[in-house]
A = this chain, B = another copy of it.
Amino acid sequence: MSQDGPNFETTVLIPVIAQDDATGDVLMLAYMNAEAYEETLRTGRVCYYSRSRKKLWRKGEESGNVQELKSIYYDCDADALLVRVNQIGGAACHEGFKSCFFRKIDPASRQSEVIGERVFDPAQVYRK
C-alpha cells in the first residue's frame, strides 16, 4: 500500500486550496507544513503555516473567522491539498472579501476589476 496523504518529505510547504463547502467558491491559497497539517486533522480547524511570519497560522485566531474543516483531499502528486471548509464570518480574506480572489483580470486589457463585495471592514476587525 502506498503512503496515504501529502508528502512533506519532498515538499516542506505544501500549497493548500481552501474551498467553501457550501458554495464551491475558492476562498484562498495558503501553505501547510507537516505540523499545520497534523493540527488541522486533529482539531478540525484549518491551520496553515505563515511563510512571512515563519510560524503556524491558526486561521481566524485574531479575526474570529476560523475555518471548520469539512473534508480534505490530496492530489495525484501528493504535493497539493484541497480543504473544503465552513468559513465562519463569511469572509476568508484579510481585506474583508469573501474570497481572496476578488479581482478579475481582463485578458485583453490586463486591467482588473473588483468582483467581490466586502463582508467586513478590516479596520474594524484587526484593531491595532
Residues of A within 8 A of B (CB): 4-5, 15, 17, 19, 23-26, 28-29, 40-42, 44, 69, 71-77, 80, 82, 93-95, 97, 100-105, 107, 110-112, 115
Q: Tell me if A72 and B29 are in contact (CB < 8 A).
A: no
Contacts A69-B107, A76-B93, A95-B76 hold; do A112 and B4 have CB atoms under 8 A apart? yes
Q: Tell me if B29 and A17 are in contact (CB < 8 A).
A: yes
Note all chain B residues with C-beta closer than 8 A to A107. Answer: 40-42, 44, 69, 72
Chain B: minimal CB distance from A100 (Å): 4
Chain B: minimal CB distance from A115 (Å): 8
Complex Cα spacing A25 to B79, Å: 18
8 tightest A-B CB contacts, nearest first: A24-B24, A73-B101, A75-B100, A29-B80, A41-B107, A82-B101, A4-B112, A76-B100
Q: Tell me if B102 and A76 are in contact (CB < 8 A).
A: yes
Contacts A41-B105, A82-B101, A101-B82 hold; do A74 and B112 have CB atoms under 8 A apart? yes
> Can you spell out 28 A-B residue pairs with CB atoms less than 8 angstroms apart?
A4-B103, A4-B105, A4-B111, A4-B112, A15-B15, A17-B26, A17-B29, A19-B26, A24-B24, A24-B25, A26-B26, A26-B82, A42-B107, A44-B107, A71-B104, A72-B104, A72-B105, A73-B101, A73-B105, A74-B101, A75-B93, A75-B100, A75-B103, A76-B93, A76-B95, A76-B97, A76-B102, A82-B101
